Each structure stands twice: as structure tokens, then as C-alpha cells.
């Protein structure tokens, strides 16, 4: 069941998502060669506690950390560790909080120092694909118009869209209906209505879309070893079009 939110609830979601956006901004500044991902997790926890926000992922289905740190061929749910980042890596940072009863959830992929042109392009195409999806988050369109917009943009660029993870509704739960695949034919699924709040999160692979899960039960890697990128925004569908609730200062 899709839960529609009142303007008041959307304001609460905005507050939570702003906290996430600000923390991701601060984490991005910390990303450099020599830094380990457990340090980034600890910074995220410290910043969240300064805002009285509860990290949303820690303990969620047993996830052991607050931040997901997915480096290079890791698609999503990379576990923070003492392993240091090296120049040329790309890292996806996925973070969520619970504040005043509502969740924030967003992700960015950032380069570590100077990275290859391919890594830069994959990152850019993934970010742009997210925005192609957001553009379609308007009343009277259908859910799969978002999916189709993302998939067609990604595939036209020569990359592939991960199938086994999807975007989701978000509100007083981290994951609500509907599920939002990043692929599919247009014109299908639920009709979009004002008050829907959606976490759109394309995961894009340089080569094939297939994914393996490591023994730890979390880390998702590309089957073929290709690079992967991930961007996520929480978005509200309104009469006036899509509103990005996890927008960072300056975009």
C-alpha cells in the first residue's frame, strides 16, 4: 500500500533528508587517498549524533554499520573497513537517518583523487540518470515512466542498470511501497499522485548488470568485475512537480 504524505509530513521528510544531504556533503570532503571507510562511517555517526538523528541503516535487517561504502566493483552495501582508499577509486556513500519519526535516505558516488575518464563518465551518467528519473516523478504519470527514463538513458550511454535492487517509497519507514525498479517499459504500475515520497536510486554498471553477493551477506559486487556507481535522492511528487528533499546546498 502506498502511503500518501501531507504537506506537514513532507516538511518532516525534508528535515531528515537535509540532515542526510549535509552529512554526505561533509563525507565527500573527507574522501581522499589514505582514508579508510570505517573512518567515514565513524564521521557519519558523529555528525548524525550532533543533529540528534539516528542512523537508519545500523541494525536494519542486521546491517552492522551506519554507512554503506561501495568501492569500484562494489555495487551497494559495501561494509566499512580499515582498508584505505587509493587514488583512482570511486566510492559510493549511501546514508540514511531517522529524525522526528521520518526517514532520510540518499547516496552519492565520488572520485578518490584523480580517476580514469571511464570512472568519471560512469559517475556522471549515473547522476544524470537519477535526474532523468526525477523529471518523471510528476502527478498522473506512471511509476514505470521513472524506471524507463533511467534505463533508456543508461543504456544509450552504453552501461547497464542493476536489476536486483530497486528504489522505494519512504516515510515513517525506510522502505515503503512502491518498489521502483530502474528498468522497465513505460506506462505501467501505479499512477503517481501528489504526496508520494520516493527514494530513487539507480545503480549503474560499466559492463553487465549481473551482481554477486559476498559471503558476508551484504557486499554486492559486479559479476564481471566492472565498475559500478550509485546515486540516490528522496523526492516528493507534488502538484508543482518533483521536489528533491535530499538536495544539498547548491545542488
Distance CA 82, CA 187 (A): 46
Q: Output 44 or 199, the one with its CB closest to ligand MF3.
A: 199
Q: Which of 46, 60, 140, 156 binds ligand MF3 (CB under 6 A)?
A: 60
Question: What are phi and psi for residue 175, nearest 5 degrees?
Answer: -120, 115
Is cis: bond before 19, omega within 30 of 0?
no
Distance CA 24, CA 27 (A): 5
In angstroms, what is the minimal distance from the CB of 204 to ligand MF3? 15
Q: Which of 21, 48, 199, 220 binds Co ion (CB under 5 A)?
A: 199
Count of residues that interact with Co ion, criterion CB under 5 A: 2
- Cβ(65)–Cβ(79) below 8 Å: yes
3-state secondary structure of 149: helix
Residue 199-218 contact track with ligand MF3, rule CB under 6 A, x = bound: x-x-----------------
Q: Output 49 or 179, the one with its CB closest to ligand MF3.
A: 179
Check the CA dihedral 180-185-186-189 and report its sign: negative
Which region among 34-42, 62-70, 102-110, 240-248 touches Co ion (by CB under 5 A)? Answer: 102-110
Chain residues 158-177 in contact with ligand MF3, contact rule CB under 6 A? 168
176 binds Co ion (CB under 5 A): no
57 binds ligand MF3 (CB under 6 A): yes
Which region among 53-61, 83-91, 141-149, 207-215 touches ligand MF3 (by CB under 6 A)? Answer: 53-61
Q: Which of 12, 74, 90, 105 binds Co ion (CB under 5 A)?
A: 105
Chain residues 67-106 in contact with ligand MF3, contact rule CB under 6 A? 68, 77, 94, 105
33 binds, among Co ion, ligand MF3, none (CB under 5 to 8 A by kind): none
- Cβ(79)–Cβ(69) below 8 Å: yes
DSSP-derived secondary structure for 169-212 = E-SSSSSEEEEE-S---SS-SPBP-TT-EEEE--EEESS---EE
Count of residues that interact with ligand MF3, criterion CB under 6 A: 13
Q: Output 122 or 170, the one with its CB closest to ligand MF3.
A: 170
Distances (CA, A) of 79 to 39, 136, 150, 211: 12, 32, 27, 16
- Cβ(178)–Cβ(169) below 8 Å: yes
How is residue 87 written as a grid cell?
587514488
What are the residues binding Co ion (CB under 5 A)? 105, 199
What are the residues binding ligand MF3 (CB under 6 A)? 57, 60-61, 63, 68, 77, 94, 105, 107, 168, 199, 201, 232
Amino acid at each position: 500500500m502506498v502511503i500518501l504524505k501531507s504537506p506537514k509530513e513532507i516538511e518532516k521528510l525534508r528535515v531528515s533528508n537535509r540532515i542526510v544531504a549535509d552529512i554526505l556533503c561533509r563525507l565527500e570532503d573527507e574522501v581522499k587517498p589514505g582514508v579508510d571507510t570505517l573512518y567515514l562511517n565513524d564521521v557519519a555517526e558523529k555528525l548524525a549524533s550532533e543533529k540528534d538523528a539516528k542512523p537508519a541503516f545500523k541494525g536494519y535487517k542486521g546491517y552492522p554499520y551506519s554507512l554503506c561504502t561501495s568501492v569500484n566493483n562494489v555495487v551497494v552495501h559495501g561494509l566499512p573497513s580499515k582498508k584505505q582508499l587509493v587514488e583512482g577509486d570511486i566510492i559510493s556513500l549511501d546514508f540514511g537517518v531517522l529524525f522526528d519519526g521520518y526517514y532520510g535516505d540518499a547516496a552519492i558516488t565520488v572520485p578518490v583523487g584523480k580517476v580514469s575518464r571511464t570512472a568519471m563518465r560512469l559517475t556522471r551518467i549515473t547522476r544524470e540518470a537519477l535526474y532523468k528519473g526525477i523529471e518523471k516523478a510528476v502527478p498522473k504519470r506512471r511509476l514505470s515512466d521513472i524506471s524507463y527514463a533511467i534505463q533508456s538513458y543508461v543504456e544509450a550511454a552504453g552501461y547497464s542498470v542493476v536489476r536486483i535492487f530497486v528504489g522505494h517509497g519512504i516515510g515513517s519507514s525506510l522502505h515503503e511501497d512502491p518498489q521502483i525498479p530502474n528498468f522497465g517499459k513505460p506506462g505501467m504500475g501505479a499512477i503517481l499522485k501528489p504526496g508520494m515520497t520516493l527514494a530513487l536510486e539507480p545503480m549503474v554498471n560499466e559492463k553487465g548488470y549481473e551482481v554477486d553477493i559476498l559471503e558476508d551477506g551484504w557486499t554486492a559486487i559486479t559479476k564481471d568485475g566492472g565498475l559500478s556507481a550509485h546515486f540516490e535522492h528522496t523526492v516528493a511528487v507534488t502538484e508543482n512537480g518533483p521536489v528533491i528533499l535530499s538536495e544539498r546546498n547548491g545542488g
